[in-house]
Amino acid sequence: MAENTEANRDAKHGMALGLTLWAIIVISVAFFFKYDVPELASDRGSQDTIYYVILGITGVAYILVQGVLGFYVWKYRHRDDEEGSYWHESHKMELLWTIGTTVVLVPIVAWGLVLWEDVKAAPPTDVLTIEAVGAQFQWDMRYPGPDGTFGAWRPELYTLENYMGLDPDDAAGADDIMMTNQMVLPVDTPVRILLRSRDLQHAFFLPNFRVKQDLMPGIETSVWFTPTKIGEYEIACAELCGLGHYRMRAFLSVRSQADYETWLSEQSAAN
Amino acid sequence: MSDGHDDHGHGKQSFISKYVFSFDHKMIGKQYLSLVMFMAVIGGALAMLVRLQLGYPGMHSEFWAKLFPTGMASGVMTPEFYVMLFTMHGTIMVFFVLSLGPVSGFGNYLIPLQIGARDMAFPFLNMMSFWTALPGAIIILISFLVEGGAAASGWTAYPPLSAIRSAIPGSALGQTLWLVGMIFFVASFTMGGLNFVVTIINMRAKGLTMMRLPLTTWAQFIVGILGLLSFPALAAGAILLTFDRSMGTSFFLPHGMFIGDTLLPNSGGSPLLWQHLFWFLGHPEVYIIMLPALGFTSDILSTFTRRPIFGYRSMVYAMCAIGFLSFIVWGHHMFISGMSPFLGTMFTMTTLCIAVPSAVKTFNWLATLWKAKIRFTTPMLFALGIVSLFVTGGLTGIFLGTNAVDIQLHDTYFVVAHFHFIMAGAGLFGMFAAIYYWYPKMFGRHMNESLAKIHFWFTFTTYYGVFFPMHYLGIAGMMRRIYDPNTYDYLKPLQPVNTFITICAFILGASQIIILVNYFWSMFMGKKVESENPWEANTLEWSLPIEPGHGNWPGEIPEVHRWPYDYQHPDAEGDFIPQWVPPKKAVTK
């Protein structure tokens, strides 16, 4: 009968969809073993840990739910001769998936919030403070210099030469060290980066350090972390800031304490 | 209730009053769908160009130089052109395709038919709503032609980038037109939302209680409320931003912006205010796009599994919960913006609450499939596709909602992957499913089933091919909205992934030609519909004659005797009992 052949043809799509869903599960999960977060170079490893835990939990949920979906479309493809079911209401089942999902989620949320508190907590008092100023399309860094104090700045003082807006009357600013698109940090020392924007919104993104913070004009923001691995890294802008957003890139060099101090005194001498 | 349309259906109407300034909700729905298809072609073409650049960065082509004499003047795409491309892709797709299609298009078409009304509560307002959306769309399209090009500050239009004319070429006249177009859009959408809510509350047929509504109409009801409450925030923001741009105010502009070589005179405003206003709309907007698709999925799943939808009440409650929660989660777009960390804590908790009703919906769909007798029609294939995309996109939301994890993933391709599954995917597949499902009712003809199935297979597989690998890109740290990822050393190894995505995207884009051809060809050449209820479905629209006139039912509006999911009912002589069949009088198959 015509209708039967049409039904049979349709049923093949059920089989194909089931197999496709399973194939998608296998392929998509496999590549998670190939692509990983960038190599960690800071003390924020706990952010990676919770990422992997969520990846594991959602991965299991993904495989189970897509797998069952694939299984059902394969198993229950058109079968007019078999008995159907009118069963459509079960408080027990609804409670099961409501409570089940909640039970899985609550620990994730709680743990995530504890980590969030850690990240947002006040830095230790001996923290090394550096300023990073974002502008279309560069990063200007400022170190406080030998006196350990930043000179005052005001937006009214911005010019193309005085791009940091430093107050020439403030003696503390005389020894400030400035450089563009380059930052050097000592390893294993907590650092705090003060972030301000000279024009639009930007975002200070250190992929290897699990650090990202927007620069919001009119507001001064900051992040703090501890570099844990000596090496050369990249700083990226992660918030659209204009046509050159993609090339608003800077370099971060993490060095041993001794190398860092040598570098710092060289900079002060050159200043 | 609104029986003032007695003359419709057989009265003679002029071409203008039938096809142009129509009051008939069915025609208005179709007008919306035509507009949506046109805008989707433009929005899709923009995406193809975005992918061209990412797949083959810096590719030189004389052909492109001729086609886009400014954007690709030297044969290579310029960064400002690239930024404009993804800005307008997002704008057009989110507002003029995924909102206008499932909501304004299918909402208008289906609500009166599913609730047994002769038309929407305010037919004139309904017509106005379309004739306000159309100028909005035209203004957006014209903005491509003005000096500096169309807006280029992302679909989120964050100031100061969007507020300061010299910040990027698109922030000249293009951004002004974007804001004007958006105000038109909001006006249209709120008119529609008002109509939806009033119609569904007041004009249901006799016997059709709220808890007997099809889930499609429930979704549209919630969407109407969401739109009414959230879109005005965007309108307010857009008007304030227009003031900042044109009249020297400083709602969003703080002191201390040094651009070119001058300090701007603004002071006192905050760019964060825009983000709050924008996302107060923006997050409900995600559900405005998604909920209709979830409604279609429930109805289509039930029809073609020949099973009642599992857990109808909990489906309704889940949609209400999602709708409510959508208003208190907007801050999860702003975890790293500099907003108070305490708010970050609050928004993580509310955001992850959404996972619970979403999981309930998913499991109910799976339970509906259990022991089903599935008919693999094309709408069913797309509905199953939505379930799969919804699961994938929903699970990745847990990463992004957890603020500690979002720090690393924020503004990376992981986010792009996530929302293309959950929001864009559901919306797009929802529209496809709805077109294939209701086409016989809309045009009295069937679409070509073989072409439709080919369209599904290409779309579903390449959709995963395009958007799943974007998770890997995001995990590896690739930012959104960058013109050339190869600027960064650590992103260079990802180029093969980007090239693969681009190839899949081109196939995905090309395969949409199939549905466009099928849609318009079948309107004239498709097989004629022989039964008014070709899918053997239960909802009221299938009781209409094959070619319903204005006023919908030629005689009395049918009385409703039951909920819409009586498939495999023990009393049924066949395997289904439509809503309009009185008790004890089941239809035979």
pLDDT number for residue B538: 95
Q: Testing the interface with B: which of A34, A240, A248 to mutate, by most B Cβ within 10 A? A: A240
| From B192-196, B526-530, B559-563, B574-578, the region with the lowest mean pLDDT | B574-578
Whether residues A147 and A101 share a domain: the answer is: no
pLDDT number for residue B11: 53
- Per-residue 3-state assignment (H helix, E strand, C coil) for B279-320: HHHHHHHHHHHHHHHHHHHHHHHHHHHCCCCCCHHHHHHHHH
pLDDT band of B6, cuts 50, 70, 90: very low
pLDDT number for residue B587: 52
pLDDT number for residue B15: 81
Report the complex ipTM. 0.95
In a domain, A84, yes or no: no
pLDDT band of A79, cuts 50, 70, 90: low
Q: Select the residue of B376, B479, B568 nearest A86 (Cβ to Cβ).
A: B568
Whether residues A141 and A174 share a domain: the answer is: yes
Reported as a single tens digit per residue, the pLDDT across A6-57 is 666 688 999 999 999 999 999 999 999 999 999 999 999 999 999 999 999 9
Hey, CA dihedral for B349, B351, B352, B353, is it positive or negative? positive
Q: Testing the interface with B: which of A4, A39, A55, A73 to mutate, by most B Cβ within 10 A? A: A73
In a domain, A90, yes or no: no
CB contacts, 8 Å: B153 with chain A: 240
Question: Which one-letter amino acid corresponds to residue A98?
Answer: T
Whether residues A165 and A254 share a domain: the answer is: yes
Tell me whether residues B366 and A72 touch, CB distance under 8 A: yes
Reported as a single tens digit per residue, the pLDDT across B62-116 is 888 888 888 888 889 999 999 999 999 999 999 999 999 999 999 999 999 999 9
Reported as a single tens digit per residue, the pLDDT across B481-522 is 999 999 999 999 999 999 999 999 999 999 999 999 999 999
Reported as a single tens digit per residue, the pLDDT across B258-306 is 998 899 999 999 999 999 999 999 999 999 999 999 999 999 999 999 9
pLDDT number for residue B175: 96
Whether residues A111 and A174 share a domain: the answer is: no
Whether residues A105 and A13 share a domain: the answer is: yes
Tokens of B229: 């409450």
pLDDT band of A5, cuts 50, 70, 90: low
Contact yes or no for B237/B275 (Cβ under 8 A): no
**Could you identify the residue written with the tokens 């964060």?**
B272
Domain residues for the domain of A265 are 128-270
- In the predicted structure, residue B58 carries a pLDDT above the cut 60: yes
- Per-residue 3-state assignment (H helix, E strand, C coil) for B354-376: CHHHHHHHHHHHHHHHCCCCECC
Strands A128-135 and A191-197: parallel
- In the predicted structure, residue B8 carries a pLDDT above the cut 70: no
Q: Which of B86, B145, B42 is nearest to B483 (CA)?
A: B86
Question: Could you write out the DSSP letters of every residue in A218-245?
Answer: TS-EEEEE-B-S-EEEEEEE-S--STTG
d(CA B31, CA A214): 43
State the DSSP code for A200. Answer: S
A77 interfaces chain B, CB cutoff of 8 Å? yes
In a domain, A261, yes or no: yes
Which residues of A, range 96-155, sit inside 8 Å of B by Cβ? 97-98, 100-102, 105, 108-109, 112-113, 115-117, 119-120, 135-136, 155
pLDDT number for residue B3: 43
pLDDT number for residue A8: 66
Domain boundaries defined on chain B: 28-246
**Could you identify the residue written with the tokens 């003031």?**
B243
Tell me whether residues B568 and A242 touch, CB distance under 8 A: no
pLDDT band of B7, cuts 50, 70, 90: very low
Half-sphere exposure of residue A224, counting CA atoms within 13 Å on the CB side?
17
pLDDT number for residue B589: 44
The mean predicted confidence, pLDDT, of chain B is 93
> Strand, coil or helix: what is B353?
helix
In a domain, A24, yes or no: yes
- In the predicted structure, residue A66 carries a pLDDT above the cut 90: yes
Q: CA of B541 to nearest chain A CA: how many angstroms apart?
A: 23
Whether residues A50 and A141 share a domain: the answer is: no
Whether residues A107 and A168 share a domain: the answer is: no
Whether residues A139 and A259 share a domain: the answer is: yes
Whether residues A143 and A258 share a domain: the answer is: yes
Q: Testing the interface with B: which of A4, A5, A17, A28 to mutate, by most B Cβ within 10 A? A: A17
In a domain, A112, yes or no: yes
CATH class of B28-246: mainly alpha
Into how many domains does chain A fold? 2
Contact yes or no for B166/A199 (Cβ under 8 A): no
Whether residues A159 and A105 share a domain: the answer is: no
- In the predicted structure, residue A98 carries a pLDDT above the cut 70: yes
CB contacts, 8 Å: B259 with chain A: 136, 199-200
Q: Counting beta carbons within 10 angstroms of the beta carbon of residue B534, is it exposed (0 to 12), middle (13 to 18) or buried (19 or more)?
A: middle
Reported as a single tens digit per residue, the pLDDT across B455-466 is 999 999 999 999
Whether residues A139 and A261 share a domain: the answer is: yes
* Cβ partners under 8 Å of residue A49, min gap 6: none
Strands A138-143 and A211-215: unpaired
A11 interfaces chain B, CB cutoff of 8 Å? yes
pLDDT number for residue A216: 95
Tell me whether residues B407 and A211 touch, CB distance under 8 A: yes
Whether residues A153 and A56 share a domain: the answer is: no
Among the residues of B329-481, which ranges form H helices? 341-353, 355-369, 378-401, 403-409, 413-419, 426-443, 449-467, 469-475
In a domain, A85, yes or no: no
Question: Which one-letter amino acid corresponds to residue A117?
Answer: E
- Residue A217 belongs to a domain with what CATH number? 2.60.40.420
Question: Which one-letter amino acid corresponds to residue B40?
Answer: A
Tell me whether residues B398 and A24 touch, CB distance under 8 A: no
